[in-house]
Chains A and B, each alone.
Chain A
């Protein structure tokens, strides 16, 4: 049986057209990949800082001087389906007058929630045993640094913090280091 593509003229023409079709598909695929990759990598292209906002944390009288209290704030970025994950806790230490420290709840080691113990003036982490002093400096355990600290400002009688992304070793760029030195203690 004679194979249809054995005729040289048809062979070259059909082969060329087939290759052209492949090329066309390749080109369309490459163009299609741009929006797809843009969609998937959306969170990557967004600058970390652009997630951050000044967020009201509460009235000053909620944080008595000399004490460290748990406070909550609503993360501004998010979707309606976030539910309770959008309300985040943090620790507010009112040192004196207008001096505060606002610590992230997340341990600098692996992000577990640290607890404040006013009696021993320590933050303890339930996961791997990280411990921090009252100024957030690392006291013991595996954390590589002190607690992450949010920038704060006082507007009228309200305390505001600069927050908006999960604090980790890489995403704390605009989060101040605690105390004078993160290695203190």
Chain B
């Protein structure tokens, strides 16, 4: 045994006398950090790096089988899922790894922002971090396209439609994105090149620089209220702190990083095993139009914005806001490079994080069951509940048939069943009088199409008669002026 150990040491010495890496690596691992930074709050960056390693390994393994053409990509995904031993698990690891990556990178960035770690002298580390965030989203989007299914096909169409809104060069950008005039083989192959060569190459270089700067400039100290960053004194203060109260990164802080990274990889494995691979959904055949395309979770908030922004503001917001946001993020360490680091003294920073987190979170959650999309099959799949038909006249029941047949249900629910695009009509008669119903149905308005040309007078009469019964147990809406004129007319009739 001891002979084996000595042989091992001899091999190590042989290698290190040639490589000379052991010294610098050990020095880097044991570099001193402020004692306060040996915390569970400082584990997210290393976790993102470990997930990146896993994504590279699983990505290379998937590339052994995946075929990057529009014709074969979908079949190769299904072959991975069903035809290969554990192919499904590798796909699941890569897919869930991607979602975890986006989440951890966002958490890492939030933590860095809240702890003021972007301030002097770590400005460039933050700027590279902003690019790393953008590249993480770039990887998530290109990866979603490579899972070349229905969602991916129409998702690229959405990307192209956004590009098309850029003034003057919109059509050029569309052709550049697609690699040609339509979504096809050149589109898939260029997204493949971006996803496996271009973005990962830049990503790895930037991660290298990012980590190098963390080692060179030292990890951010735990912020203390009232302890201000000044360019003139910060470095001396930091040096003094790690000299007086520093601990080596390994093992004092490194164990939390290692433990958290293991937990995250375990969590990804658990999600992969429990929930399986993500997609593919239906084949990327544009002639199959019975589809409701939806982006992956990291982009659901954009999907929501596209539905909820006022149409007139959509293009300017889509084109200007991202540029402004990225510029502000890049410029942040230059206009806020000094001063207070502690969150309790930075109320605007806290408020910004809260507003952004709540907005993105809400938009994402709403998108999981989007109320703005019509339910394309509701008119034939969701019947009118029997309670809305009991005790109704034949005309009113005929109206219920018109209500179903004219696809009203695709946008209007009845007591929660049906589309959510328009208001639920279970109590519409308490809100609109008969005349108002007729006007709304025939002329539309308020984001409802006019049905004037799609309904015969008899159908309109029946439909409005049915809608007039939908008042629950409340009093139906009434038009007092109408009653007055009716009663006047009745009195006149009595006189004659």
Q: Give me the interface of A with B, judged by CB distance under 8 Å.
A: 41, 43-44, 46, 48, 51, 70, 72, 75, 77-89, 105-106, 109-115, 117, 119-122, 124-129, 131, 133-134, 139-144, 164-166, 168-171, 173, 185
Chain A residues whose CB sits within 8 angstroms of the CB of B372 once the complex forms? 128-129
Q: State the CA gap A113–B174 with chains docked (Å).
A: 18
In the complex, what's the smallest C-beta–C-beta distance from B22 to chain A, in angstroms?
Answer: 29
Chain A residues whose CB sits within 8 angstroms of the CB of B173 once the complex forms? 170
What 0/1 pattern do residues 176 to 195 of B give for CB contact below 8 A with A?
10111111111001000000
- B374, A126: Cβ atoms under 8 Å? yes
- B407, A129: Cβ atoms under 8 Å? no
Tell which of A72, A85, A173 touches B171, judged by Cβ atoms closer than 8 Å.
A173
* Contact status of A111 and B178, CB under 8 A, knowing A119-B406, A128-B306: no
- Further pairs besides A78-B184, A79-B185, A171-B164: 9, Cβ < 8 Å: A48-B175, A51-B181, A87-B285, A113-B286, A117-B379, A142-B307, A165-B181, A169-B161, A171-B181
Chain A residues whose CB sits within 8 angstroms of the CB of B450 once the complex forms? 139, 185
Tell which of A84, A87, A129, A133 touches B307, judged by Cβ atoms closer than 8 Å.
A129
Chain B residues whose CB sits within 8 angstroms of the CB of A77 once the complex forms? 180-182
Instruction: Tell me, yes or no, whether B153 is within 8 Å of chain A by CB.
Output: yes
Instruction: Tell me, yes or no, whether B69 is within 8 Å of chain A by CB.
Output: yes
- In the complex, the number of residue pairs spanning A and B with C-beta atoms less than 8 Å apart equals 216
Residue of B nearest to A40 (CB): B176
Instruction: Tell me, yes or no, whether B92 is within 8 Å of chain A by CB.
Output: no
- A126, B373: Cβ atoms under 8 Å? yes
Q: State the CA gap A166–B454 with chains docked (Å).
A: 30
Chain A residues whose CB sits within 8 angstroms of the CB of B240 once the complex forms? none
Chain B residues whose CB sits within 8 angstroms of the CB of A142 once the complex forms? 306-307, 309, 311, 314
Q: Give me the interface of B with A, judged by CB distance under 8 Å.
A: 69-72, 153-154, 157-158, 160-166, 170-176, 178-186, 189, 283-287, 289-293, 303, 306-307, 309, 311, 314-315, 372-374, 376, 379, 405-408, 410-411, 421, 444, 447-451, 453-454
- B157, A43: Cβ atoms under 8 Å? no
Query: Which of A83, A133, A144, A169 has the most chain B CB within a 10 Å cutoff?
Result: A83
Q: State the CA gap A80–B373 with chains docked (Å).
A: 35
Q: State the CA gap A72–B288 with chains docked (Å).
A: 11
Residue of B nearest to A52 (CB): B181
- B71, A81: Cβ atoms under 8 Å? yes
Q: State the CA gap A23–B161 with chains docked (Å).
A: 43
Q: State the CA gap A141–B444 with chains docked (Å).
A: 12
In the complex, what's the smallest C-beta–C-beta distance from B464 to chain A, in angstroms?
Answer: 16
Q: State the CA gap A11–B318 with chains docked (Å).
A: 57
Chain B residues whose CB sits within 8 angstroms of the CB of A121 once the complex forms? 453-454
Residue of A nearest to B304 (CB): A128
- B293, A85: Cβ atoms under 8 Å? no
- A48, B69: Cβ atoms under 8 Å? no
